[in-house]
Structure 1
Amino acid sequence: MTHRTAVLLLALACCLPALADQAQEIATERARIAAERSRVEATFQAEQKTCYRKFAVSGCIEDAQAWRSQQLSDLRRQEVALNDLERKARSADRMRELQQKQADEARRQSDAAAKGQAERASREQRAQEKAEKAQAAAAREGTGKAKRPRSAPAPKATAPRTPNASAGPDANENRHKFEERQRQAQEHKASVEQHQAEHKKPAQPLPVPP
């Protein structure tokens, strides 16, 4: 494993939640691994040709194959580690998405509960204000009825009555005037009758027959 690959894998492992933001780096590292694999294959092919020109061909080829196998295994380990980190990053992304959805749902439910509570409080406030207005209106109506005088009954066609003495100063004065007029009328009537009686000639007696 190269030093650059080890550093990258360590950085990815430490910063796993940010792996989605490093997709370009991962793609670059995969391309590097693929290029390294191609270079190893090309080097192995060239080494085989060189071995055929040597006296100990078998040993040379075996050494080249061992080198090739070691290089490819190292590249394979790098690729597996990179795949593992990428899977963990995708899992972390899915977990973050789920947590975000749960947070959004909790916030939505909280907002709905707060809105429902505000609406209930508003309805209760309106109902209380309506009841208070109705109570105030009923109180005003009751006060108006208590202060409103009753309509006096229509007077009957009867002889005038002597005003009530308990009706107040004006009523007492009217009563005295009425009584005075009644007294004067009676005195006048009696005077007239007396005058007529005084001036009325007595009837002449009938003549006694002879």
Structure 2
Amino acid sequence: NVYTVPDLLERGYTGPEIRWALMRVHYRQNLNFTMKGMEDVRSALARVRECRSRMEDIAAGKVPAGADPVEEMCAKAREEIFGCLDDDLDIAGAQAGLFALVTAANKAAPAREGAEEVLQVFREVEDVLGIPGPALGAEGPPREVVELAKKREEARKARNFAEADRLREEIRSLGWKVIDTPQGPKFSKG
């Protein structure tokens, strides 16, 4: 089977998702491109987006900050990510380093400055690889999804959970996931 970039875009994949999928194999190896692989990439990048969003909220003071030190974690991530890139352009290893940072950052409760440090590592990776860049977080949900989420929120407040679940499924059928937070609903693609 052959897939072109327009085919993948038509299927709802974003440029960063396609780029990430193409880069995850070492340049000396053949790429086994599958739609399952694209779904795995979408899920992986959603984890990065969610972590990034959480760190942005902490850094901006939107959610309570903790006091966990993250400087050592960030230094280790930089060393692993950029060490892999320096070692024969091992992008798969660099991606693994990024996900190790995401896992550690999700377990931590950093202070505002610590969250900013994690975001700085994301920006450095973004500068080199072009991902997980703002293109992933900048595109918001379409108006229809936002309206459905508002109706869902009203249904939840009225304790009409069957209607809220139906609206959640309708949002999911449009390719979006709604995440309930104390600050209101957030959205992620997929």
Both proteins in one fold, TM over 0.5: no
Q: TM-score, normalised by structure 1?
A: 0.23
Give the greater-gyration-radius structure (CA). Answer: 1
Structure with more helix by fraction: 1
Pick the structure with more strand per residue. 2
- TM-score between the two structures when normalised by the length of structure 2: 0.25
